[in-house]
Chain A
């Protein structure tokens, strides 16, 4: 293990500090497991560090980092799907720690959505990425992203309506 980040890593440390937490947070609603989100984040940063000489010259290395993380999330999901039969014997995926009631409701709704829809929702609504950019990043047609967003919104609509009611009455 090294003592400190070398001086030739110019800017990596500040890039890491600025984006580590937001990236984990963006991945949590997608992979529905904070520990997995952290692992994916670390892997994405590992790849960023490997490419840092090139990335540091980019206007927006954050975009590259998020794209890699999203692809890693898809790869993880594929691996998990392959192991789903074995995992199903042990019940649902790890339940998140100390979730408040709102989070539990939203997480339950998200759990019923396919990963692609959760990903589209997070990228568009949470990260504010335009539909066309999401389509380019994920390598799918714009119409597919729109359909995923629409289905995702429809699935979350009852939960959001409940939340609105709760906030009005309570």
Chain B
């Protein structure tokens, strides 16, 4: 290592003198937590999309129930008379 390298190294060492190396489990734990969060988020998105789809279908069904064809309405009116 040349002069610049040595100086940079010395600076880095002085800055990290009190650094404690965390156990590797910590890194792995973080990765697992992230994976879980990502999985939960994507599952929630899928569930939300399914719910919205079902609601949309139900809405369309209800609308077709409420708006009856005009012939049906006319026949009902005749029958009522």
- A99 contact set on B, CB distance < 8 A: 11, 14-15
**Bound complex: CA A13 to CA B27 (Å):** 10
Q: Within the complex, which residue of A34, A96, A126, A163 is in contact with B8, where a contact is CB–CB below 8 Å?
A: A126
Are the C-beta atoms of A46 and B31 separated by less than 8 Å?
Answer: yes
Contact with B along A21-50 (1 / 0, CB 8 A): 100111011000010011000100110011
- Residues of B1-19 at the interface with A, using a CB-CB cut-off of 8 Å, are 1-5, 7-19
**Bound complex: CA A156 to CA B4 (Å):** 8
- A4 contact set on B, CB distance < 8 A: 25
Q: Give A residues with C-beta under 8 Å from B.
A: 1-5, 9, 12-13, 16-17, 20-21, 24-26, 28-29, 34, 37-38, 42, 45-46, 49-50, 96-100, 102-103, 106-107, 110, 121-122, 125-126, 128, 153, 156, 160, 163
Q: Within the complex, which residue of A17, A21, A25, A122 is in contact with B24, where a contact is CB–CB below 8 Å?
A: A17
Chain A's closest residue to B29 (CB) is A1
Are the C-beta atoms of B31 and A106 separated by less than 8 Å?
Answer: no
Q: Within the complex, which residue of A17, A26, A156, A163 is in contact with B12, where a contact is CB–CB below 8 Å?
A: A26
Are the C-beta atoms of A98 and B2 separated by less than 8 Å?
Answer: no
Chain B's closest residue to A4 (CB) is B25
> Between A and B, how many residue pairs show CB distances below 8 Å?
106
**Bound complex: CA A122 to CA B6 (Å):** 10
Are the C-beta atoms of B11 and A28 separated by less than 8 Å?
Answer: yes
Are the C-beta atoms of A125 and B11 separated by less than 8 Å?
Answer: no
Are the C-beta atoms of A126 and B28 separated by less than 8 Å?
Answer: no
Between A and B, 22 residue pairs with Cβ closer than 8 Å are A1-B25, A1-B26, A2-B28, A2-B32, A16-B24, A20-B21, A24-B12, A25-B12, A26-B12, A29-B11, A42-B26, A46-B27, A49-B31, A97-B15, A102-B10, A103-B10, A107-B11, A122-B8, A125-B2, A128-B1, A156-B4, A160-B4
